[in-house]
């Protein structure tokens, strides 16, 4: 009967008796060479034929040693219910096959009786075949297995880093200790969403029961959102994108201000975006805040990591939530209009147009609003909900944006700030001089085919609907209503996007995963 073995050390006298079919074995060889080998086999399954040489060759390089039941001398000692599991039985045995490298070693055989225990055994087999990363360290260049061992070692380290990410998330965010919340957290990642958007996904969950502020959220937001950056790198979907052990130990979130660690450009870029998002989340914007936000957005544009058109077409599809606009802000307080309209959320959605030869995207602007009661609207933000939707198509082409007013007279939008080289952020980005122009993605909107629709939860006459539409347009950046005023995109990554309007104003967006929200 084919069996497998796995484990750690100690040679003992040979016990006798109790030969019965088992399903898992753990070996403890007292030898310098290390083994980690596992397999599973049901007790009720008939014994399979021994593996042939062809079968072994087809299986490829695999650190699993196969045994027959006759290769063991099983002891008469048995343990039932390991760690409270009554569906497992543990036996001791000794390898008595003289040709085996484990000859004379004491092993542990585990019989799995229930289907749940067998599933655990299969999972243990899948993980156990990987082994430990240190077991695959081999510096011998003549060894043909070095390349495959290195790849396997990288896989194991990446798996361990992802596990460390889950542990870190539970340690910092106590809400994830709740099984239902943690299941939503895992579901968000399993659906292929980028872990860099975790903050926006978890923010409603973390804020609903913490009126004074969530402690875990504050910890991860410290040092320009370094905690969220480390969490995103640990939980990266692709294993080759996960952070290494050395880089994780040198990350600013773990080192803090006490150790002087030079941040990478990616960390600086993340810090700029996180700081801009935190400032944009404030309700009231003073002149000082607005200047800082404009400065951070311009720095992000200079450090854009995905300036090519191919990267824009890859990252652009999806739903983006408008956070901030550097243009003019018009609110309700001083004007006292009728009707009182409160803008809730403004989204910009890019989708690939079906059956299009050229890279044409469908562009939709969704503006949610509420018509509040006129008497107590400063204190009562409830009201009739409505939505304004504008749909058109756009083509993305290469373009440039000029940093000086003298250059590029054909460009209608320019970065006018020249404060990049000074201050903390300029030094961290290691910029020696301001570039004369920056590559962008020009957004060419089709002005001939535009669909505008407005829906409301209550019945409005023509005059009231016109007044509501006019108030929505007054409070919304003009680029969100007239999409042809969007000139180009100057920054994009998996989390944030910056678009420039025809008047030079910048619109900061964050990727929205509301469809995955609880």
The whole-angstrom separation of Cα 2 and Cα 22 is 10
SS (H, E, C) 243-290: CCHHHHHCCHHHHHHHCCCCCCHHHHHHHHHHHHHHHHCCCCCCHHHH
Helix, strand, coil percent values for the chain (each to nearest 5): 35, 25, 40
Do residues 87 and 52 touch, judged by C-beta distance below 8 A? no
pLDDT of the chain, 518 residues: tens digit per residue: 333 333 333 333 333 333 333 334 444 443 333 333 333 333 333 333 333 333 333 333 445 567 777 888 888 766 655 555 677 777 788 888 888 878 888 887 777 888 887 877 776 665 554 445 444 444 555 555 555 667 777 777 888 899 899 999 999 998 999 889 999 999 999 888 999 999 999 988 887 766 556 888 889 998 889 999 999 999 998 888 899 888 998 898 988 666 667 778 888 899 999 999 988 887 666 788 888 888 899 889 988 989 899 999 999 999 999 999 998 877 777 777 888 888 888 999 999 876 656 678 999 999 999 988 777 777 777 888 999 999 999 999 999 887 764 444 444 444 444 455 555 555 555 566 667 788 999 999 988 889 999 998 887 888 888 999 999 999 999 999 999 999 999 999 999 999 999 998 999 999 987 544 44
DSSP annotation string for 468-489: HHHHHHHHS-HHHHSGGGEEEE
User: DSSP label at 63?
Assistant: -
Angle at 215 between CA 212 and CA 218, to 5 degrees: 95
- Is the pTM higher than 0.85? no
CA distances from 430 to 271, 356, 425, 427, 434 (A): 15, 42, 9, 5, 11
User: DSSP label at 135?
Assistant: G
The whole-angstrom separation of Cα 508 and Cα 497 is 6
Angle at 498 between CA 497 and CA 501, to 5 degrees: 140
Lookup: tokens for 436: 């004369």
Lookup: tokens for 342: 């409160």
Look at the block and give the residue holding tokens 């240190």: 134
The whole-angstrom separation of Cα 500 and Cα 518 is 32
Lookup: tokens for 38: 């596992």
The whole-angstrom separation of Cα 85 and Cα 502 is 68
């Amino acid at each position: 009967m084919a069996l497998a073995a796995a484990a750690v050390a100690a040679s003992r006298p040979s016990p006798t008796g109790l030969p019965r079919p088992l399903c898992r074995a753990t070996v403890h060889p007292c030898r310098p060479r290390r083994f980690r080998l596992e397999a599973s086999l049901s007790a009720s399954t008939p014994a399979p034929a021994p593996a042939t040489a062809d079968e072994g060759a087809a299986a490829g390089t695999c650190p699993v040693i196969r045994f027959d039941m006759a290769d063991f001398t099983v002891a008469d000692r048995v343990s039932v219910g390991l760690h409270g599991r009554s569906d497992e039985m543990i036996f001791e045995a000794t390898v008595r096959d003289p040709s085996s490298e484990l000859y004379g070693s004491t092993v542990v055989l585990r019989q799995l009786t229930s289907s749940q225990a067998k599933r655990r055994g299969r999972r243990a087999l899948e993980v156990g075949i990987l082994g430990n990363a240190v077991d695959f360290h081999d510096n011998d260049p003549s060894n043909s297995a070095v390349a495959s061992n290195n790849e396997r070692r990288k896989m194991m380290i990446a798996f361990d880093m992802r596990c460390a990410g889950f542990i870190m998330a539970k340690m910092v965010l106590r809400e994830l200790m709740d099984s239902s919340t943690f299941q939503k957290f895992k579901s968000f990642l399993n659906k292929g969403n980028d872990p860099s958007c975790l903050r926006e996904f978890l923010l409603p969950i973390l804020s609903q029961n913490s009126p004074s502020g969530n402690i875990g959220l504050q910890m991860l937001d410290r040092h320009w959102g370094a905690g969220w950056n480390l969490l995103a790198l640990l939980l990266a979907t692709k294993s080759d994108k996960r952070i290494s052990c050395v880089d994780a130990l040198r990350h600013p979130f773990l080192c803090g201000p006490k150790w002087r660690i030079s941040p990478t450009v990616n960390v600086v870029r993340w810090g700029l975006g996180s700081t801009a998002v935190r400032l944009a989340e404030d309700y009231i914007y003073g002149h000082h805040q607005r200047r800082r936000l404009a400065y951070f957005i311009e720095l992000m544009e200079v450090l854009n990591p995905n300036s090519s058109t191919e990267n824009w077409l890859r990252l652009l599809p999806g739903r983006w939530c408008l956070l901030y606009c550097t243009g003019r802000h018009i609110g309700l307080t001083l004007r006292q209009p009728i009707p009182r309209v409160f803008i809730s959320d403004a989204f910009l959605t890019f989708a690939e147009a079906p059956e299009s030869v050229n890279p044409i995207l469908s562009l939709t602007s969704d503006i949610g609003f509420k018509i509040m009661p006129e008497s107590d609207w400063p204190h009562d933000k409830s009201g009739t909900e409505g939505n304004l939707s504008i749909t058109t198509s756009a083509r993305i082409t290469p373009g440039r944006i000029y940093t000086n007013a003298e250059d590029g007279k054909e460009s209608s939008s320019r970065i006018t700030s020249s404060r990049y080289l000074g201050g903390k952020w300029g030094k961290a980005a290691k910029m020696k001089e301001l570039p004369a122009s920056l590559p962008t993605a020009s957004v060419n909107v089709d002005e001939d085919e535009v669909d505008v629709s407005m829906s409301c939860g209550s019945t409005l006459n023509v005059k009231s609907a016109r007044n509501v539409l006019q108030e929505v347009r007054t409070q919304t950046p003009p680029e969100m209503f007239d999409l042809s005023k969007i000139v180009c995109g100057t920054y994009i990554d998996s989390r944030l996007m910056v678009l420039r309007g025809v008047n030079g104003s910048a619109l900061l967006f964050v990727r929205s995963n509301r469809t995955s929200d609880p």
